Amino acid sequence: MSVPDGETARAYPLRIMTWHEVVNDEIEGRAIAITYCPLCASGMVFSREIAEAVNGRLEFGVSGLLYHSDVVLYDRESLGLWSQLSRKAISGKFAGRELEWIPSSQMTWQAWKRNYPDGQVLSTEKGFDRPYTQSPYEGYTRIPFPVVKVPTARNNLPMKARIVGIILEGKARAYNVSGLRTGEYLEQIGDRSIRITYDRRARLLLAEDASGESIPVVWSY
């Protein structure tokens, strides 16, 4: 996962995120949370700056709970629970409060080095004894269904098909990665026109609106 912010670009390798699932970070003075759910293969970045918080920002941890097979976070101020894919608090002091979703991208390591030769990378030297060259979910990507059952599912695609999701003005749209080819796609979501750029070799998909503003996307099953 990569977060470009101002003059700083920072990468968070999935082999680290798979073990820790959330990183509380700060880029150019902006407090952010980088989140990843190995069971959904979903990576999302949020602002931790919440005006109602005691210090104006929250710090997140992993609750150990799941909602629709997706990671549930908790904030260390109120111990309230937050759903990653729903992007909001589902219990506690901040219940119903939605997090600001920050644009980020996923790509191959080779593509990231090419695009951000001076970028920063999260180190494995963090004081934790984890075998980062191994995955605790070895073999999970090869089975056709999630380990934790979800209550509802649609039949448009196989349950473990890789998609990229976009949510705009309450409208959600998923793009089947296997059906995308390198190039540009013009789309209309709600009242907004967007441009999607996909590089199949780099496994990189970017979205922006008509004014060139980046739009957050999420890779997931």
pLDDT of residue 184: 96
Task: Look up residue 98 and give its DSSP letter.
Answer: B
**C-alpha distance from residue 127 to each of 23, 49, 123, 124, 205 (Å):** 14, 26, 10, 8, 33
Rounded Cα distance between 119 and 115, Å, is 9
pLDDT of residue 5: 64
Please choose, from the candidates 167, 148, 156, 149, the residue with its C-alpha nearest in 3D space to the C-alpha of residue 218: 167
**Residue ranges per domain, the chain?**
2-102, 160-221
pLDDT of residue 118: 92
Kindly report the number of other CB atoms within 10 A of residue 154's CB atom.
7
Write out pLDDT tens, residues 179-200.
999 999 999 998 889 999 999 9
Report pTM: 0.93
Q: Up-side HSE of residue 189: CA atoms within 13 Å toward CB?
A: 22
Q: Is 25 helix (H, G, I), strand (E, B) or coil?
A: strand
Residue 82 has pLDDT above 90, yes or no: yes
Rounded Cα distance between 38 and 58, Å, is 23
